[in-house]
Amino acid sequence: MALNEQTAKMSVQEMIAKQKGKKGKFWVEKSIPIILFLIASISVLTTFGIVFTLIFETFEFFKRVPFLDYLLGTEWLPFSNNEPLYGILPLIAGTLKVTLIAVVVAVPFGLASAVYLSEFANDKTRRVIKPVLEVLAGIPTIVYGFFALTFVTPLLQQFIPGLKIFNALSPGIVVGIMILPMIASLSEDAMTSVPKSIREGALALGATKLEVAMKVVLPAALSGIMASIVLAISRAIGETMIVSLAGGSTPRFDGDLTGSIQTMTAYIVQVSTGDAGYGTTIYYSIYAVGFTLFLFTLLMNWLAHAISKRFREEY
């Protein structure tokens, strides 16, 4: 027995020695981790580069426009011939209007879809419905924008006579449709991960299937559900083409949902199409607006992580 172990040990040592003797292969093995590390570092360096560019150009903007005027101003008129005004609140208001409408549309339908797919649908139905639902996430946003402008808005005008061609309601509804698959898919994954033993225990105590879904499975999957909602909100805040096509380009600091608005992303698109020359205040304003949008998205991602960590259930 000891002889066999010694022979096996010597064989392994001989194999290692032979491998080390092949210098070419040895250097390949040593270089692979370095190459993979450099590849993985590209995304990190790219992120730092984008953030550095935003900060540098934003500081250049604030050399020309007072910070408090930008943060607390209620008028956004960068193309004014008299005195340009750079108050970010109208753009934030337009962004929040669209986001709020999108959340009202996406959360109930998304959670209802997740509950059905997780708790009530059989395997065959789930294999059909879930891929079809996720197809919505693959439709180009510019198609969604034209859909909002040419179909949803005329349809809404039949029920809301005072609704303008460009408004907050139509793009908000369509953005909600766009983010619905994210909420439905991620929430369904979170609910599916809840152990079957918990469901069986609740059913054994006399609970109905609906009670199990609403009072047992949903609370158990709360961390994943909340994270999916927050990530969907972050996606809605950063949406560009739908609000650019169907929302209009009129920054307004009010609560009206039937008139033209402008979001932060829509303004960036407007200026990026050539309305401002390089080095002008308007040019630098897109970086200030972009940095503000970046902070909103960063806050949403941090909130999703905090919620997921706070309510996470381990089984």
Asked if 85 and 51 sit in the same domain, the reply is no
- Which of 249, 273, 87 has the alpha carbon at shortest distance from 171? 249
User: For residue 69, is it within any domain?
Assistant: no
Residue 194: pLDDT band (50, 70, 90) is confident
Domain boundary among 40, 63, 86: 63
Tokens for 82, please give them. Answer: 């008299």
- C-alpha to C-alpha distances, 144 to 167, 171, 228, nearest whole angstrom: 15, 9, 21
Asked if 206 and 170 sit in the same domain, the reply is yes
Asked if 38 and 8 sit in the same domain, the reply is yes
Domain residues for 53? 2-63
Tokens 């949803």 found at: 152
Asked if 54 and 83 sit in the same domain, the reply is no
The whole-number pLDDT of residue 314 equals: 60
- Residue 64 CA from chain centroid, whole number: 32
User: For residue 235, is it within any domain?
Assistant: yes
Asked if 195 and 292 sit in the same domain, the reply is yes
Residue 98: pLDDT band (50, 70, 90) is very high
Asked if 146 and 280 sit in the same domain, the reply is yes
- C-alpha to C-alpha distances, 251 to 93, 297, 306, nearest whole angstrom: 8, 21, 33
Q: Looking at the 3D structure of the chain, how many domains does it have? A: 2
- Residue 255 CA from chain centroid, whole number: 24
The whole-number pLDDT of residue 107 equals: 92
Asked if 190 and 244 sit in the same domain, the reply is yes
Q: How many residues can be counted in the chain? A: 315
The whole-number pLDDT of residue 20 equals: 55
The whole-number pLDDT of residue 211 equals: 85
Tell me the whole-structure pTM to 2 decimals.
0.81
CATH number reported for the structural domain that contains residue 107 in this entry: 1.10.3720.10
Asked if 255 and 287 sit in the same domain, the reply is yes
User: For residue 103, is it within any domain?
Assistant: yes
User: For residue 19, is it within any domain?
Assistant: yes
Instruction: Return the CA Rg of the chain.
Output: 27
The whole-number pLDDT of residue 3 equals: 46
